[in-house]
Chains A and B, each alone.
Chain A
Amino acid sequence: MEALWLSIRLAGCVAVSLLLAGMPLAYWLSQTKWRGKFLVESVVALPLVLPPTVLGFYLLVAMGANGPLGKLWTRWFGHTLAFTFTGLVLASILYSLPFAVQPLVLAFESVDQRLLDAAAILGASRWRAFRQILLPLSVPGIITAVVLSFAHTLGEFGVVLMVGGNIPGITRTVSIDIYDHVQSLDYAAANRMAIALLLISFAVLSTIFAVNRRVWSPWPTK
């Protein structure tokens, strides 16, 4: 159960960080008229199409003792980033980025622009309009973003294996734990973990679909 607890902690950290980082990014994407916007959108969506091992490989290189990020980290904190919990959080943030940003962009874009125009004419600053109009009207999308980034991080395997390795209590997450049990032919242990993950994932998804059927559902709305 150590692995499950670690996975939940990791997913929680990632979901919160992604909400904080994803909100300004999604707001910018939903408002900007910049022509190069599609480039940013592509970068955000990359983890959707890249094999996790590709992302994990480059992150490992960057975080390693000789990588740019690793060097900086070592200078500040005295140890490398790879094979640590923090490294895992950073990697997972990138890996789950589209799962947070896309529902947020969708939610922000579906708020009628005329409401924001009205707020501006009534004297509200952009920040006030964001807090009092855009945010409350985007609540379903925000919930979706948090839940999806949590669930997606919970189930990741490739990136964790590349960047985190397999250190019990530090980087050994549920999916890696299951893989280990299967390798050592301990199917009963693997099954316990797998069922826990299955139930959690089901609970998470049924939460989103219950909260709203509009944003980010693979099922038709009617």
Chain B
Amino acid sequence: MTAATSTPGARFDVRLRYKRPGAASDSFELSVDFQLDPGITILFGPSGAGKSTLLDCIAGLLKPPVARIALDNDLLQDSEAPIFLPPQRRRLAYLFQAPALFPHLTVQENVAFGLHHLQEESRDNAVQNLLEAFRVDRLAHRKSSQISGGEAQRVALARALAPSPRAVLLDEPLKGLDAELRSSIVDDLRAWNRARQVPILYVTHQRDEVDALGERVLALDRGLIIAQGAPHTVLDAPRKKRLAYAAGFENHLSALVQDVRESDGVMRARLAGTETDIEVPLGYATVGTRIHVAIRAGDILLATRRPEGLSARNVLSGVIDSLEINGPTVICRVNAGAMFLVHVTRGAQRALELAPGHSVWLVIKTHSCHLVDE
């Protein structure tokens, strides 16, 4: 089967419900219904949202009890018929988080693995073309356990695409690679898909990847598709609290609108259970309305003295409750009436001598406060 014979523009219909057997009773059920058009669609959501499980179901590695998965009119699974094609017969590409190259085979043998059915000569040609398309032809005879992470992921991509798949599933395939390498791999993937026009489902939980790739985004959270559309409409105006988590908002505050200043485009709102007011952007709210505010932990500044002469409108006093070191970031929990999560670098933590019990000031720009529907 060559690329020319695959139907360009196939539409991928996915509808399924799945709950991991033996999972805790409070765990959620994956329940989705969406269509993929040709080209890249991003599946975006926080860790544990069910993204990898969803891909495993689509690929046929898991068998959801209720499902209808079809490429145009070609059924991959229909639980009512019942039809269930095993992964071997679905003709999909699926790239895992780890490259999962066969370590005892060379790069060339890895890419040729899915072309078992071809004559040797056409197989060699196809492999050579793919190795060139993904810029790894000079590695052809290396053992796949002896190449770098970025190279391994390129080879894995070439291997996955070798059998001319009808759709492509990518599960955070470029995690851990630097931005430049990532975008060059994605460009090669787009180039590969230009003639073929198959649907590509690209999973990530990284905001910057969504911005870089985005044509269309599906936002998944706790097993449900909670928003879909263009990246900025889905992610910049989070309408659901859980999606705000997904888009990197660590702080969620409930507040009561005190004052609406339409000419300034702002509102003043009192944080629930406190005497503290914050200034937030104007929203569809009147005095007395309860609103929900989402703030990224990285958008809050910490100061050890009360800052003056700032353009930021919100300066709150608080006390450090605890510190947690997470890689290069220090996560501070600050009690300022309400509990705030603030990210600082380890250098900043040392320079300011931040420690639990210390008094600090929180500085928050008005437009760092995002209004969220509950």
Contact = CB atoms under 8 A, between A and B. Distances in A.
A117 interface: yes
Interface string A133-151: 1001100000000000000
Interface stretch (B96-104, B216-224, B254-262, B360-368): B96-104
Interface stretch (B7-15, B86-94, B129-137): B86-94
B23 to A, nearest CB: 14
A132 B86 CA distance: 19
A130 B93 CA distance: 21
Contacts of A128: 116
B114 A137 contact: no
Interface string B99-141: 0101110000000011011000000000000000000000000
Contact of B100 (A115, A124, A132, A136): A115
Given A117-B61, A128-B116, A123 B100 contact: no
Contact of B104 (A123, A124, A125, A137): A137
Contacts of A114: 96, 98, 100
B294 interface: no
B159 interface: yes
A121 interface: yes
Contact of B116 (A117, A121, A124, A136): A124
Contacts of B100: 112, 114-115, 117-118
B104 A120 contact: no
A128 B88 CA distance: 11
B98 A124 contact: no
Contacts of B102: 115, 118-119, 132-133
Contacts of B94: 117-118, 121
The 4 A-B residue pairs with the shortest CB-CB distance in the complex, in nearest-first order? A122-B114, A120-B87, A114-B100, A118-B100
13 contacts: A117-B87, A117-B96, A120-B88, A121-B59, A121-B87, A121-B88, A121-B92, A121-B160, A122-B163, A123-B89, A123-B91, A123-B163, A132-B113
